[in-house]
Chain A
Amino acid sequence: MLRFLVRRLLMTVLVVAVTSVVAFSLVHLSGDPAAAMAGEGASPADVESVRKTYGFDRPLPEQYVTWLKRVFEGDFGRSHYLRASVAQVLADHAPITITLGALAIAFAVLLSIPLGVLAALYPNTLVDRLAVGLAVGGQAVPSFLFALLLIYIFGVTLRVLPISGSGSWAHFVLPAIALGYYATPAIMRLTRSGMLDALQSDHVRTARAYGLPAWRVIIKHALRHAMIPVVSLIAVQLGFMLGGSIVIETVFALKGVGYLAWQSIQRSDIEVIQAILLLIAAAYALLTLAADVLNGAIDPRIRVG
């Protein structure tokens, strides 16, 4: 188990290291950062002075190392537009996105896994078709349209839920449903196919032949196996949500990381963009690690050699 953990942890560090290079390069190679920061009306002299001040005149590898050193010290730099430390800016926006992502994935999991199991228990029946239909609806309807529909029904017509802002838990209900619904089809389908396989496996037949109650066979001996790929998928989906959904955050006026990233790109606020890219990559890598560890706990063949 320890060797397994150490190996996965090393992989995670490598992935983050590589993405830090990519994140840094992308920002610095897509146009001249000094010109972008100085603004449209700036004179060549102004651009030159910006270049000097921010160190853009140094060779790129050197800039990268300097940036990485600061990051290791916990200093992500300053937002030149917001005139605040990047750490502070992120601390303002991240909790909203994390809350939204966690609620959305919880909604997606609670909806799609029971639907997937149900569909697999009654394959090719009306139950199956309805479950698949309900889940796939999430993929077919564009998320902004679904979000607007939710707003219209629950916010405008029924007036039961707030539709904008992040003042209370109630504010997160509609955006979490809108964002989570988008993740349901993939999770549901993977659960369904995993369950179909698991229910036909020999050890499930054994469990049935030894008189174990149906629900125990389904949960303990089938669902556990079906969950292995699903856990990995959920980790990726959650990573995607933590990256911030610009559409959902915009529709519900939530000032989260997605919104911040979009704004920062428009403002050429490169220190903020770099930090967001790095953090999203780290979140993805950590979630993947968590999924691997969880899968190791689910299936001993993964952890015990």
Chain B
Amino acid sequence: MTLDAGETLAVVGESGCGKSLSAMAITGLVPPRAKLIADRIALKGKSLLGLREREWRGIRGRRIAVVFQDPMTSLDPCYTIEDQMREIGRQHLALDARALRARMLDLLRQVGISSPETRLSQYPHQLSGGLRQRVMIAIALMCEPELIIADEPTTALDVTIQAQVLRLLADLQKEHGFGLILITHDLGVVAGAADRIAVMYAGQVVESGPTDTVLSAPAHPYTEGLLHSIPVPGRTARGAPLGFIPGVVPRPDAPHTACGFINRCSRPVSACATPIALMPIDPAHAARCIRPCLGGQIVERHPATETAA
């Protein structure tokens, strides 16, 4: 996965496919029992692998900020919004108390909070879910990060608020120019919001490319299956069963000795029983499949011998 400044990359896939884990790995934060194995994680050309705890503190929150899924629980219920914003501001910014408070008020206004003074003095449980997510976004913007990882930022919100939050993120991105990784399992969110899309399945990226291309002409059978399972008004026949992908996801600890999708694929061949690399279709589009669908045709490719991307 790569991301340019000011660009939005959507990472999609079903629950448990490793979207969040992969994104959090960029910040070096993986659960204690997980082991981080990566050939390269870099921000603006500088490797983030093997950083020491102290060096990470200059990255986390300052250059990479995260907006989490559940705004109900992502803020500490014991402290006011002001306490929490100030703590993070003090950690990263060399501002005196007045300037920091002005900065906090400005940020809250930027995320569309109308009475920032009141909100600052309140506790998280006194705010609605939408407001809390706006506060989280304000905190993310605190240090003008180069990258914001939004981990299902709208999943816990109701539909009208979802659209508002997505628009807010897009507007802020235009203004501030941060790269945005948008993790979601909602393809509807992706269509309007992302420049590029990475589809994940069983811990691997199975297809990546420009959003329009991937959504209109999916190359990987998994992406195809995902898109088929979404009802489209006018196109999906009334009363007809929705498309679905048969079978179940392989266990996360299963070794990658074959294509992870082999047992659920609609067009497997014997050559699929080897590990498949992510192979380019054109410079911007790639799929982890030896029989991708290109321009409505199934194309046979030879299993790549190059290492997995």
Question: Quick one: CB contact mask for B27-58 with A, threshold 8 Å, 1 for yes?
Answer: 10100000000000000000000000100111
A residues 205-226 near B (Cβ < 8 Å) are 205-214, 216, 220-221, 224-225
Residue from A205, A212, A300 within 8 A of B78 (CB atoms): A300
Contacts of B91 in A (CB 8 A): 210-213
Q: Is B59 an interface residue (CB 8 A)?
A: yes
Q: Is B125 an interface residue (CB 8 A)?
A: yes
A46 to B261, CA, bound (A): 97
- Is A212 touching B88 in the complex (CB atoms < 8 A)? yes
Contacts of B131 in A (CB 8 A): none
Interface set of B (CB-CB < 8 Å, partner A)? 24, 27, 29, 53, 56-62, 65-66, 68, 70, 73-78, 87-88, 91-92, 123, 125-126, 136, 139
How many residues on chain A are close to B (CB under 8 Å)? Answer: 23
Residue from A205, A224, A301 within 8 A of B125 (CB atoms): A301
Assuming the contacts A202-B74, A300-B125, A301-B125, asked whether A209 and B29 have C-beta atoms less than 8 A apart, the reply is yes
A41 to B131, CA, bound (A): 80
A209 to B123, CA, bound (A): 20
Interface set of A (CB-CB < 8 Å, partner B)? 201-203, 205-214, 216, 220-221, 224-225, 298-301, 304
A207 to B85, CA, bound (A): 11
Residue from A207, A211, A304 within 8 A of B76 (CB atoms): A207
- Nearest chain A CB to B149 CB, angstrom units: 9
- Is B73 touching A203 in the complex (CB atoms < 8 A)? yes
Contacts of A201 in B (CB 8 A): 73
A205 to B73, CA, bound (A): 10
Residue from B59, B70, B126 within 8 A of A211 (CB atoms): B59
- Is A301 touching B68 in the complex (CB atoms < 8 A)? no
Contacts of B57 in A (CB 8 A): 211-213
- Is B76 touching A221 in the complex (CB atoms < 8 A)? yes
Contacts of B125 in A (CB 8 A): 300-301, 304
Contacts of A206 in B (CB 8 A): 66, 68, 74-76, 136
Assuming the contacts A205-B74, A206-B75, asked whether A211 and B29 have C-beta atoms less than 8 A apart, the reply is no
Assuming the contacts A209-B60, A224-B78, asked whether A202 and B139 have C-beta atoms less than 8 A apart, the reply is no
- Is B73 touching A202 in the complex (CB atoms < 8 A)? yes
29 contacts between A and B (CB under 8 A): A202-B73, A202-B74, A203-B75, A205-B29, A206-B76, A208-B29, A208-B60, A210-B60, A210-B61, A210-B91, A210-B139, A211-B58, A211-B60, A211-B61, A211-B62, A212-B57, A212-B87, A212-B88, A213-B57, A213-B91, A216-B87, A220-B87, A221-B76, A224-B78, A225-B78, A299-B78, A300-B125, A301-B77, A301-B123
- Is A300 touching B88 in the complex (CB atoms < 8 A)? no
Chain B: CB-nearest residue to A298: B78
Contacts of B62 in A (CB 8 A): 211
Contacts of A220 in B (CB 8 A): 87
- Nearest chain B CB to A202 CB, angstrom units: 4
- Is B60 touching A300 in the complex (CB atoms < 8 A)? no
- Is A299 touching B70 in the complex (CB atoms < 8 A)? no
- Is B76 touching A209 in the complex (CB atoms < 8 A)? no
A295 to B65, CA, bound (A): 32
Contacts of A216 in B (CB 8 A): 87
- Is B27 touching A209 in the complex (CB atoms < 8 A)? yes
Contacts of B65 in A (CB 8 A): 209-210
Contacts of B76 in A (CB 8 A): 203, 206-207, 221
- Nearest chain B CB to A81 CB, angstrom units: 52
A202 to B4, CA, bound (A): 29
Beyond A209-B68, A221-B78, 13 additional contacts (C-beta under 8 Å) are A201-B73, A202-B74, A203-B77, A206-B136, A208-B29, A210-B61, A210-B88, A211-B60, A211-B62, A212-B87, A213-B57, A221-B76, A225-B78
Contacts of B74 in A (CB 8 A): 202-203, 205-206
Contacts of A225 in B (CB 8 A): 78
Chain B: CB-nearest residue to A203: B76
- Is A304 touching B61 in the complex (CB atoms < 8 A)? no
- Nearest chain A CB to B57 CB, angstrom units: 4
A301 to B88, CA, bound (A): 22
- Nearest chain A CB to B31 CB, angstrom units: 9
- Is B92 touching A211 in the complex (CB atoms < 8 A)? yes
Contacts of A211 in B (CB 8 A): 56-62, 88, 91-92
A213 to B73, CA, bound (A): 20
A224 to B58, CA, bound (A): 25
Contacts of A209 in B (CB 8 A): 24, 27, 29, 60-61, 65-66, 68
A202 to B156, CA, bound (A): 14
Contacts of A298 in B (CB 8 A): 78
A212 to B143, CA, bound (A): 14
- Is A299 touching B77 in the complex (CB atoms < 8 A)? yes
Chain A: CB-nearest residue to B122: A304
Assuming the contacts A210-B91, A212-B88, A300-B123, asked whether A202 and B68 have C-beta atoms less than 8 A apart, the reply is yes
A300 to B59, CA, bound (A): 31
A300 to B29, CA, bound (A): 29
